[in-house]
Structure 1
Amino acid sequence: MASATEPHSDTQAAPSSARRSYAYAALCCVALTLLMTPLANLLDPANVVMLYLLGTVGIALRWGRGPSALASMLNVVAFDFFFVSPRFSFAVNDVQYIVTFAVMLAVGLLTGQLTAGLRFQANIAASRERRAQSLFELSRELSSALLASQVVQIGESAVQRHFGGSALVLLPDSRDPHESLALPEPMPAGFEASMANAAYRTDQALGPTTADVAAPAWHYVPLVAPMRVRGVLALQPAQPRWPMASEQHQQLDTFARQIAIALERVHYVEVSHQALIDIESERLRNALLAAISHDVRTPLTALVGLAETLRHSQPALTPAQAENAAAIAEQARELATLTNNLLDMARLQSGNVSLRLEWQSVEEVVGSALRSVRSVLAGKEVRVHVPADLPLVEFDATLIERVLVNLLENAAKYGAPPIEVSAHAQEGSMVLSVRDHGPGLPPSLQSREHLLFEKFTRGHAESATTGVGLGLAICKAVVDAHRGEIRARNASTGGAEFTVTLPRKPAPLLTE
């Protein structure tokens, strides 16, 4: 099958077209003979032979090798019958004309062969130029596409212009992008969805390889991009069920690669654009939270102080009034803690925090964190397993204490006693862990424990326990700033366990 723009060779042309070529060649010989017959007495036989050879060249240029060979033989017969004495007879008086006939036939065949070869090479060059032009136009149009729908429209139009027939660019189905394609509605005649999906899953081109009527009418070529398969290019040529030449297959594969690369480029443009939007949204949110939190912290501090003053005012409050004053102070402290968390989170994510790295005693930092949360842990059993001979570790004591405070508050809120705090040294690292004996992490976070450390994420979304989900996010930000790692898991004997791993290098030698 030849495409709409590919040249037809003798081996590619349809049988009916070939028969017409031979008929036209014979008619040209007849016409040439009829034109020269009235001039037989005026033309030298050598000139007649040259005119016949000129006709053979013209036929070779127009219809190729086979018709030119037929014309050469017919010309010899016509020259013998109409122009060699005795005329209108195949008898030859002069034996030398036998040589003339042989030379005329040989020169005609050779000239036709060379001319047809030149024609074929010219057609091949023109065909390659058209293919290159088609690819250039496709690349130029795809370079301006910003949406996948634009790539689909441009790709279908380009393939149809080059090959004729019908073309479809099929993208993955959003419901099952790894297994199936989004199919057109209604389905075109002869289109087989199973073959299109098979080409997509197996990354193999499928289509007719013979002129068998049972062969599929469409070609299915996967759109293979550098990262993954982006879909399938389906083509029903202008002459269905006819195998394409190897150069046409290569051209179709090249079209598919160009479309696939364009789809992948558009995909990453969309990903990049969304990432920029997310970054800008995060920056604006942090700036807003920091501004609001900073303005709220001062009146909250005053509110806590006024509530405490009210509790101890004279004359003494009634029990009900004292309880209300205590509740005001407690709620104000919780709101102040939330405000501090918002400020800390905004400051950590802005990148403006400078770590005050100093050699610290882990035992002292753990003790300081426990003292900070003694009101939260009141009445709860706490077990501390921190060896006294732990080596010094270089970190920001204030921030690491904040990490331990948040983990202890988290255990007190969502877990159950006893709460265990432990620390031990490993080769090149220091490991701190806080564990409770409560219900553990929710099943919805199984194998997705990292989601706990995202901002505004709570393990129990519907929990009555107060909080907005910033404590663990602050812990992760602090540990990341120390180039460490924090993990959460369910302990083997029940409860949730949070582990902080900080990098450790040998402590400096103390000089006396």
Structure 2
Amino acid sequence: MPAPPAFPALAAPPPGGPASSAATPPPWLGYAVAAVAAAAFTLAALPLRGRLELANIVMLYLLVVVLVALRHGRGPAALAAVLNVGAFDFVFVPPQLSFAVTDLQYLLTFGVMLGVGLITGQLTAGLRFQAEVAAARERRAQSLFELSRELSGALLADQVAAIGRQAVRQHFGGEAEVVVSGRDDHLQHPVQPAAGYERAAAEAAFALPVAAGAPPLHAHGAQPGWHYLPLQAPVRVRGVLALRPADARWLALPEQAQHLQTLARQVAIALERVHYVEVAQEAQLSIASERLRNTLLASISHDLRTPLTALVGLAESLAASAPPLAPAQAGTALALASQARELATLVNKLLEMARLQSGERPLQTDWQSVEEVVGSTLRLLRPALAGWPLEVDVPAALPLADFDATLVERALANLLENAVRHGAPPLVIRVRTEPGWLAITVRDHGPGLPATDQDLFGKFTRGASESATPGVGLGLAICKAVADAHHGSIRAANAEGGGALFELRLPRREPPPLPTDVE
């Protein structure tokens, strides 16, 4: 994993904003500097007494106020203005070395000098504050830019967590942990977390719903200074950001709390992007595996069809050979022919399944009579349905439907074979029309569908993994492939009164009008 990036360090923020306790000067220092500056300038200006007009010396005192305001803010600038007025009166205004005033016009000078000094210091300190605010915002924007740039190149959740943790630590100081949720929606807590980190508090924050307008910061647990923020992505919460800043007062500032929320949002979006990249990669791998399996099935099935057809013919010829075989030999020949037919049916299903899912078998739709398709399917399955009570409910006035008759016949035959294998008589076939749909229902009166989480329409899925019932679990998968090819659907459910019910739904449109006779 690449090392986490180095983010730009934060300079001293504006007054009242985040700053390291060690780097923050004591509050009395500015006032001491103001007093020293007033005294030092007075001493330095002594040689100018008698050489410069008093108005020029006043302007130099104002310059001192501006410099103090630029460096130390409003309070020290106000003190410098008051001290400068006193020093100017004591040293430069006659009688010198005395606070007595012989000329009343100097009182106006003192008042103007003090007022201009205070106003100048106030404006200068305000400009300094605004400049520091702008600089702090620029640093936050630069920090977000650097974080976005580094997160865009992260390919793993661990990389995103390391980058986010480093960014939060460098901006807020102290300790930080980015705890990511796994595929099971459980937090993957660090093996060696920072001192004071509490798993229970992180779990509580992870389960906490994030409502619109809610405060972005949530404090939990008994450890002082630790805060836990859910990593809310557009879809769901992807983890928790745990933070113990160097100075907890930072998070009381709206701009800093908003910046922390923005950092957490970027990390959450990056985690969600990585998650869906992994999902997309797994989907691509699954598609490639499915294509490879279909190709193998098609190749093997195609190569086995010819020898299996020959094997069935040879076994049937052997059973009917002249002179007749002995009873034991004839039974063996008939069993061989039966097993060969079963194997040939299986190979045909494999080949048909592979062709349907690979798209090699295009639909050959035409206007068909549903009653004829049902009848041809029953004639095809006459040996398998021998002795089974059957109820067929097809309306006499059923209009023509547009579908591939061969595929629908194959799907209906598979549903009936599945009912014979796993159900009980009687069997019911019902055809109904709905607005925009044609519904073909097959129902038995057996034990119903098994209580399982398996997809009944998946390939090689059987009701019981170990069963004496023949089959490999391709019949219902072919039915679903036929429904998908027609842009329809198929469902399975337990019928009222017992038994399983399968419904094949195909899109239906109005048939074209019949031609009228022309006289």
What TM-score do the two structures reach when normalised by structure 2? 0.89
Following superposition of structure 1 onto structure 2, how do residues 56-95 of structure 1 map, counting pairs within 5 Å? 56-95=65-104
1:301 Cα offset (Å): 0.5
Q: Tell me the distance in 1 between the aligned counterparts of 2:291 and 2:283.
A: 12
8 Å CA contact retained: 1:165, 1:236: yes
Q: Is 1:202 equivalent to 2:209 in the alignment?
A: yes
Counterpart among 418, 430, 444 of residue 422 in structure 1:
430
Report the counterpart of residue 272 of structure 2 in structure 1: 264
Q: Secondary structure at the match of 1:403?
A: helix
Following superposition of structure 1 onto structure 2, how do residues 129-278 of structure 1 map, counting pairs within 5 Å? 129-175=138-184, 177=185, 181-200=187-206, 201-203=208-210, 204-205=214-215, 207=217, 216-240=224-248, 243-278=251-286
Counterpart among 17, 32, 40 of residue 31 in structure 1:
40
CA 428–44 in structure 1, closer or farther in 2 if over 3 Å, else same: closer
Question: Residue 188 of structure 2 aligns to which amino acid in structure 1?
Answer: A
The range that moved more, 109-118 or 186-195, is: 186-195
The range that moved more, 385-394 or 461-470, is: 385-394
1:341 Cα offset (Å): 0.7
Counterpart among 309, 314, 322 of residue 317 in structure 2:
309
8 Å CA contact retained: 1:208, 1:217: no
Counterpart among 486, 490, 502 of residue 490 in structure 2:
486
CA 131–424 in structure 1, closer or farther in 2 if over 3 Å, else same: closer
Report the counterpart of residue 468 of structure 2 in structure 1: 464
Q: Tell me the distance in 2 between the aligned counterparts of 1:11 and 1:392.
A: 78
1:136 Cα offset (Å): 1.2
Q: Secondary structure at the match of 1:223?
A: strand
Q: Secondary structure at the match of 1:487?
A: strand
Q: Tell me the distance in 1 between the aligned counterparts of 2:117 and 2:128.
A: 16
CA 427–9 in structure 1, closer or farther in 2 if over 3 Å, else same: closer
Runs of 5+ unmatched residues, structure 1: none
Question: Residue 467 of structure 1 aligns to which amino acid in structure 2?
Answer: G
1:59 Cα offset (Å): 0.6
Question: Residue 482 of structure 2 aligns to which amino acid in structure 1?
Answer: V
Counterpart among 438, 441, 444 of residue 436 in structure 1:
444
Report the counterpart of residue 326 of structure 2 in structure 1: 318
8 Å CA contact retained: 1:191, 1:217: no
Q: Tell me the distance in 2 between the aligned counterparts of 1:361 and 1:242.
A: 78
Q: Secondary structure at the match of 1:71?
A: helix
Q: Tell me the distance in 2 between the aligned counterparts of 1:470 and 1:249.
A: 58
Counterpart among 408, 417, 426 of residue 409 in structure 1:
417
8 Å CA contact retained: 2:301, 2:348: yes
Question: Residue 342 of structure 1 aligns to which amino acid in structure 2?
Answer: L
Q: Tell me the distance in 2 between the aligned counterparts of 1:187 and 1:205.
A: 25
CA 110–378 in structure 1, closer or farther in 2 if over 3 Å, else same: same
CA 243–22 in structure 1, closer or farther in 2 if over 3 Å, else same: farther
8 Å CA contact retained: 1:206, 1:220: no
C-alpha RMSD over aligned residues = 2.6
Q: Is 1:495 equivalent to 2:499 in the alignment?
A: yes
Q: Is 1:386 equivalent to 2:394 in the alignment?
A: yes
Question: Residue 301 of structure 1 aligns to which amino acid in structure 2?
Answer: T
Q: Tell me the distance in 2 between the aligned counterparts of 1:6 and 1:246.
A: 17
Q: Secondary structure at the match of 1:444?
A: coil
8 Å CA contact retained: 1:205, 1:221: no
1:61 Cα offset (Å): 0.5
Report the counterpart of residue 328 of structure 1 in structure 2: 336
In the alignment of these two chains, the number of paired residues is: 499
Q: Deviations over 1:383-424 (max 9, x none)?
A: 333344433322222111111111111111111222222323
8 Å CA contact retained: 2:430, 2:441: yes
Report the counterpart of residue 112 of structure 1 in structure 2: 121
8 Å CA contact retained: 1:195, 1:206: no
Counterpart among 354, 370, 380 of residue 362 in structure 2:
354
Question: Residue 510 of structure 2 aligns to which amino acid in structure 1?
Answer: P
CA 35–142 in structure 1, closer or farther in 2 if over 3 Å, else same: same
8 Å CA contact retained: 2:177, 2:193: no
Runs of 5+ unmatched residues, structure 2: 1-8
Q: Deviations over 1:132-153 (max 9, x none)?
A: 1111111111111111211111
Q: Tell me the distance in 1 between the aligned counterparts of 2:224 and 2:182.
A: 23
8 Å CA contact retained: 1:9, 1:120: yes
Question: Residue 509 of structure 1 aligns to which amino acid in structure 2?
Answer: L
1:360 Cα offset (Å): 2.2
1:6 Cα offset (Å): 5.0
1:347 Cα offset (Å): 1.0
Q: Tell me the distance in 1 between the aligned counterparts of 2:448 and 2:18.
A: 74
Q: Deviations over 1:349-395 (max 9, x none)?
A: 12232322222222222221122222222333333333444333222
8 Å CA contact retained: 2:10, 2:139: no
What TM-score do the two structures reach when normalised by structure 1? 0.90
Q: Tell me the distance in 2 between the aligned counterparts of 1:481 and 1:343.
A: 16
The range that moved more, 409-418 or 422-431, is: 422-431
Report the counterpart of residue 6 of structure 2 in structure 1: none
CA 194–28 in structure 1, closer or farther in 2 if over 3 Å, else same: farther
Q: Tell me the distance in 1 between the aligned counterparts of 2:205 and 2:218.
A: 13
Question: Residue 118 of structure 1 aligns to which amino acid in structure 2?
Answer: L
1:194 Cα offset (Å): 4.5
The range that moved more, 140-149 or 289-298, is: 140-149
1:187 Cα offset (Å): 4.4
The range that moved more, 110-119 or 59-68, is: 110-119
CA 67–280 in structure 1, closer or farther in 2 if over 3 Å, else same: same
Q: Tell me the distance in 2 between the aligned counterparts of 1:11 and 1:23.
A: 23
Report the counterpart of residue 337 of structure 1 in structure 2: 345
The range that moved more, 39-48 or 247-256, is: 39-48
Q: Tell me the distance in 1 between the aligned counterparts of 2:435 and 2:250.
A: 70
Q: Secondary structure at the match of 2:392?
A: strand
Instruction: Report % sequence identity.
Output: 60
CA 369–207 in structure 1, closer or farther in 2 if over 3 Å, else same: closer
Report the counterpart of residue 58 of structure 2 in structure 1: 49
Q: Tell me the distance in 1 between the aligned counterparts of 2:159 and 2:192.
A: 21
Counterpart among 370, 373, 394 of residue 378 in structure 2:
370
CA 172–219 in structure 1, closer or farther in 2 if over 3 Å, else same: same
Q: Secondary structure at the match of 1:171?
A: strand
Q: Secondary structure at the match of 1:465?
A: coil
CA 466–138 in structure 1, closer or farther in 2 if over 3 Å, else same: same
CA 235–314 in structure 1, closer or farther in 2 if over 3 Å, else same: same
1:509 Cα offset (Å): 1.9
